[in-house]
């Protein structure tokens, strides 16, 4: 992948960048000479530790000796935090070329976010929608200056095949889908992650009907099974099984990260509103 793809779009920010796929993505962007790279994190102390590690990394120092990495606070369970982050970003930066929305939670245990919504739906879906909308104007203005479309890439999942809104208990008259999913009686931990990714997929599918790719391309990628710590929250019997399967089938976060870089730096306007399974559009 030519590094000029990112040198010409040097203002990316990432959510979920302190572990797993997001950590690998951030490092790979730095290796491709992106700078500054903004890490939007809930745990600022952990984010600063990651920043120091990046700047001390011999490979990063060789490829990108003048790299700038900044840590900014963002709690995707809270709308106020999202809006404060977007406002602080706009005050400091006049441009943004790349937005990578990778923050996610597995959703096995029910937890209500401060917004009042079930946390898996909040973090994996609703907050990513708000972040996308918050940054579209800045992405558009940057695209107008550079002549290059801005990019928003979500981390998606083909696990959506494991769920269907049609197979759940009926939605009551006058009840919205979100109200239905927020209800405690309708929470099923093993399918909630897939529920949240299905909503994200449907949002992306609908987006091209209202917003074209001329100024900003919005897509998602699924790198398949990845050996991250997300399965650590599973009950022990399930965790042991998941670890065994991952040992045989899962990609490393580094390999998954390169698939994400391809989605944000190589894939073109034809991927607008689409989920990429590895590097091909998935329907």
Residue 244's pLDDT is: 58
Q: What is the pLDDT of residues 35-76, one digit of tens each?
A: 999 999 999 999 999 999 999 999 999 999 999 999 999 999
Low-confidence ranges of the chain (pLDDT < 50): 1-4
Q: The CATH number of the domain where 218 resides is what?
A: 3.40.50.720
Long-range CB contacts for residues 131-135, cutoff 8 Å, separation at least 24: 131/15, 131/76, 131/82, 131/86, 131/99, 131/101, 132/99, 132/101, 132/218, 134/82, 134/83, 134/86, 135/86, 135/89, 135/96, 135/99
Kindly name the residue from 93, 197, 215, 255 that is annotated as catalytic. 197
Structural domain that includes position 242: 4-277
193 an active-site residue?
Answer: yes
The answer to whether 220 and 158 have CB atoms below 8 angstroms apart is no
What is the sign, positive or negative, of the torsion defined by CA atoms of 278, 261, 191, 131? negative
The residue from 193, 211, 246, 274 that is catalytic is 193
Residue 270: inside a domain, yes or no?
yes
Residue 111's pLDDT is what? 94
- Mark out the alpha helices in the chain (DSSP H runs): 4-7, 20-31, 44-56, 58-63, 79-92, 119-121, 127-146, 177-182, 189-206, 236-249, 253-265
With respect to residue 282, please indicate whether it lies within any of the assigned structural domains: no
Which residue matches tokens 């404060």? Answer: 84
272 in a structural domain: yes
Measured at the CA of 257, the angle between CA 251 and CA 263, to 5 degrees, comes to 115
In a domain, 283, yes or no: no
The reply to whether 59 falls in a domain is: yes
> How many domains, in total, are found in the chain?
1
Q: Is residue 87 part of a domain?
A: yes
pLDDT score at 16: 85
Cα–Cα distance for residue pair 162/148, rounded to 1 Å: 37
């Amino acid at each position: 992948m030519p590094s000029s793809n990112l040198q010409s779009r040097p203002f990316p920010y990432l959510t979920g960048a302190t572990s797993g796929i997001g950590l690998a993505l951030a490092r790979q962007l730095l290796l491709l000479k992106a700078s500054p790279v903004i890490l939007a994190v809930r745990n600022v102390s952990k984010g600063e530790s990651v920043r120091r590690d990046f700047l001390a990394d011999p490979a990063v120092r060789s490829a990108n000796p003048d790299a700038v990495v900044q840590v900014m606070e963002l709690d995707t369970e809270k709308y106020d935090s999202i809006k404060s982050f977007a406002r602080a970003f706009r005050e400091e930066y006049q441009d943004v070329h790349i937005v990578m929305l990778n923050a996610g939670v597995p959703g096995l245990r029910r937890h209500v976010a401060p917004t009042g919504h079930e946390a898996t739906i909040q973090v994996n879906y609703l907050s990513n929608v708000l972040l996308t909308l918050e940054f579209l104007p800045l992405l558009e203005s940057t695209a107008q200056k550079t002549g290059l479309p801005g990019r928003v890439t979500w981390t998606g999942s083909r696990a959506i095949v494991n769920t269907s809104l049609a197979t759940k208990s009926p939605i009551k008259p006058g009840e919205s889908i979100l109200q239905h999913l927020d209800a405690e009686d309708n929470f099923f931990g093993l399918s909630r992650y897939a529920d949240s990714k299905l909503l994200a997929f449907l949002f992306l599918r609908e987006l091209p009907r209202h917003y074209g790719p001329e100024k900003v391309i919005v897509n998602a990628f699924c790198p398949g099974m990845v050996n991250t710590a997300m399965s650590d929250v599973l009950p022990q019997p399930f965790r042991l099984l998941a670890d065994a399967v991952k040992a045989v089938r899962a990609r490393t976060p580094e390999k998954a990260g390169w698939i994400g870089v391809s989605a944000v730096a190589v894939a073109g306007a034809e991927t607008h509103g689409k989920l990429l399974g590895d590097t091909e559009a998935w329907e």
